[in-house]
Amino acid sequence: MSEAKGMGINMKKNNLNIGNISHIAFCVEDIEKASKRISEVFATEVPRINYPEESNEKYPIYFRGKKTNANYKSCQLKIGETEIELLEPVGRPNSGSEFLKKNGNGVHHLLFKVDDLNSSIEIFKKKDWNLLSMEHFLEENMHFYISLKLA
């Protein structure tokens, strides 16, 4: 990967091997309504909504350092080369419910793939970026959210 710079971090120097944006996620209060609307705007089929399982014991979610019973309804659709994800928080607290309370419907996160998740977390912690949430949905799909104030 070429020497990329972003957010004041020299990716190569800090061993952050960040790939392209994997998806853009919007947090919404009503996923059924939002999924119908986005399919109308982009002339696509209404995406299938995934509902969370009752128990999330296998892949617990941690929010602000504590295990939470929160989860998300979700759906994904491709628009060109970009994957769009819609998320509706289920249960409290989690990063999505906090986001909706502060901002209403909107862009919740961008997902970048990294080569080494644990090393990336440590690099961000050293930069004083707050680790907001840690989520592990599938064996190969663990991710974390950082809280970043740009101004």
- Assign residue 51 the CATH number of its domain: 3.10.180.10
Entry pTM: 0.68
Per the structure, the count of domains in the chain is 1
Residue 8 lies in a domain: no
Domain span holding position 121:
19-147
Tens-place pLDDT, residues 52-111: 765 556 666 677 777 777 778 999 998 888 889 999 998 777 778 888 999 999 988 777
- As beta bridge partners, residue 123 has none
